[in-house]
Each structure stands twice: as structure tokens, then as C-alpha cells.
Amino acid sequence: MGLMGLLRGMGLTAPKKPAPRTRTKARVVPTTVTQLRVAGIDQPVEVRRSPRARRLSLKVDGATDTVRVTVPPRVGDAEIAGFVGRHLDWVHARLAALPPRQPFIDGMAVPLLGRSPVIRHEPGRRGGARLVDGPAGLELRVGGEAEFLNRRVTDFLKAEARRHLSALTAETAARAGLRASGVSVRDTRSRWGSCSATGRISYSWRLILAPPQIVAYVVAHEVAHLKEMNHGPRFWALCADLAGDVDKPRAWLKAHGAKLHRFG
Ligand SMILES: [Zn+2]
């Protein structure tokens, strides 16, 4: 509370000052998210009422298997249900076309930076997952109970992603005479990486499931943003300089990126 507020709060009046120039404050309408049952769809439909939406739009999100409608703020549920109802065939076709979900299970080969360690469950052993380069090839040995295996492998991969992406970012940035102010790893669904104005770079941990050239490209992309906060010609020149190849990794992510979201 400022001095004026303090004075008012105590029931006092502050000396009159010349009236400030009035400015109309833009009213910020936040996006709201609700769920709606629509006949013909087993799962609830996610409704996002967004002030930026100009019309109704429908999406099937392959990362979360969510059917999502984005609408302007004042559109009612009946109108939304009608809209989705007219596109039921499309929704079902999109849901059916999603690649199968792949929880991490015993015996499965995990794509890991171009290698593919096989998951070996060791029920008697305590502790998390560890990579072992044994006589049978590279294995990811996971202790504990079977019901936690998927979670333990995911935790291991997240930690690997944090370690690898931090090191690769520092190395790539150093080649360009740049430095990121920090690196974090999340489970972002819409972007593989992002770079803030303060130089913080964030990645999806799922990048670790992609081949090394793809990871190198995403890292080069975000590092290039440390210098060029845009996607102009100078940005792409720097990005290509750091990544070697840009076109093939971008095409790969377009073709295979959705599958990386199906793991775990
Ligand atoms: Zn970018």
C-alpha cells in the first residue's frame, strides 16, 4: 500500500493534488478453461474461452489425447456442443489416428539420443534406474516394484535430459561467444524449446528421445535466439552455422515429433 492508500485506510485525506491525467485501462479478460460433455464423445471436451479467439476452433491434442475447443469468451455451451457435434467424424478420425501410447515397460527399447537401451526390471534391487553397458548390450536397469517402473524410467530420462541439454547448450553457446543465463527442462507440449528475453533457455525433456542431430538443432535454435530474438535471415544463418543442418532436423520433428509425446 502506498502513502495515499495508507492515509485513506486510516480515514484521513491527503492534501489535494492536481488531478492526474486519466488513462483508460485496458480490461484484461483472462482465458478460462472448463470441461463440457458432448454426446458421441467418451471424454469431456476441454473448452477454452479466450479473448483472442475470433471464432470457434477445434483441435485434438496428440500430447494429452484432449479434444479442445477454443471460442470467444461469450459463446455458450449449447453452441459449442452443437459445433463439436457437427464435427464428430473428424474428431473420431483424429483420435483414431494418434500413435499408440507407449508406457515404459520391461524389455522395451528406449530411444535415447540415437541409442536404444533395453529396459530390464530388477525387482529385488532398490534405487532408481541406471544405464549398464553389459554383455547383452546397453541396458537400462530399473529397481523397485513394477508399478513404479514407468515413473522411474521417466525420472531417469528427465535427469539425463537436464544433464545433456545443459552441457550441450553451454558448449554450443560458447562456440558463438554466447552464454545462456540458465537452462531448465520441462514437459512442454507445444514447443521443443524456448528462450526468454533474459537468456533463460527451456527445453522439453522428451528431446532426449530424439536422435543427436535433432537435439543439436533445437539447442542451436535456442542458442541463436540469445543473439537474435526473431526468426529473420540473420537468425537462420547463425542457427545453421551452429547446427550444421537445419532442414532435415526440422522435417524430422514435423514427421516424428508427435510420437515422442506418446512415451511414458
Ligand atoms: Zn525460435
Q: What is the CATH number of the domain that holds 177?
A: 3.30.2010.10
Q: Does residue 117 lie in a domain region?
A: no
Centre of ligand 1 from the C-alpha of residue 97, in Å:
28
Residues 83 and 171 in one domain: no
From CA 170, how far away is CA 178, in angstroms rounded? 8
Q: Is residue 134 part of a domain?
A: no
| Segments forming the whole domain that contains residue 239 | 158-260
How far is Cα 130 from Cα 150, in angstroms, rounded to an integer?
Answer: 14
Same domain, 89 and 169: no
What per-residue confidence (pLDDT) applies to 27? 66
**How far apart are alpha carbons 229 and 222 in whole angstroms?**
9
Decide if 193 contacts 215 (C-beta within 8 A).
no
Q: Distance between CA atoms of 182 and 195, rounded to whole angstroms? A: 10
Strands 66-71 and 57-61: antiparallel
- The last residue of one of the domains, among 97, 130, 147, is 97
| Distance in Å, CA 239 to ligand 1 centroid | 10
Q: Name the DSSP class of 207.
A: G
First to last CA, the chain: 48
Nearest to 249 by CA among 212, 194, 224, 201: 212
Computed from CA positions of residues 98, 103, 109, 115, in that sequence, does the dihedral angle turn out positive or negative? positive
**Exposure string over 115-124, b if 16+ CB within 10 A, otherwise e:** eebebebeee
Establish if 108 belongs to a structural domain: no
CA of 99 to the centre of ligand 1 (A): 26
Question: Among residues 110, 121, 118, which one has the least CA distance to residue 138?
Answer: 118
Cell of 183: 537452462
Ligand 1 centre from 223 Cα, in Å?
9
How many angstroms does the Cα of residue 144 sit away from the middle of ligand 1?
40
Provide the pLDDT for residue 9: 33
Find the helix or strand (DSSP H, E) in which 157 lies. Answer: helix 149-175
If one counts the domains in the chain, the total is 2
Same domain, 250 and 168: yes
What's the gap between Cα 148 and its chain centre? Answer: 23
Q: How many helices (H) and strands (E) does the chain have?
A: 7, 10
CA distance 102 to 264: 6
- Asked if residue 169 lies in contact with residue 201, where contact means CB atoms within 8 angstroms, the answer is yes
Distance 251 CA to ligand 1 centre (A): 15
Residue 135 CA to ligand 1 center (angstroms) comes to 42
What beta strand segments (E) does 125-226 contain? 129-134, 137-143, 182-186, 193-195, 200-204
Among 79, 97, 115, the domain-final residue is: 97
Q: Is the residue at 4 inside a domain? A: no
pLDDT recorded at residue 26:
60
Q: Quote the CA–CA distance of 164 and 156 in Å, as a whole number.
A: 12
The answer to whether position 9 is within a domain reads no
Where a domain ends, among 50, 78, 97?
A: 97
Distance between CA atoms of residues 55 and 41, nearest Å = 22
C-alpha distance from residue 46 to each of 33, 36, 68, 206 (Å): 7, 6, 5, 24
Neighbours of 173 (CB within 10 A): 23
- The tens-digit pLDDT sequence of the chain (264 residues) is 333 333 333 333 344 444 445 555 566 778 999 999 999 999 999 999 999 999 999 999 887 889 999 999 999 999 999 999 999 999 999 999 888 889 999 999 999 999 999 999 999 888 789 999 988 899 999 999 999 999 999 999 999 999 999 999 999 999 999 999 999 999 888 799 999 999 999 999 999 999 999 999 999 999 999 999 999 999 999 999 999 999 999 999 999 998 899 898
Inside any domain, residue 146: no
* CA–centroid distance, residue 231 to ligand 1 (Å): 6
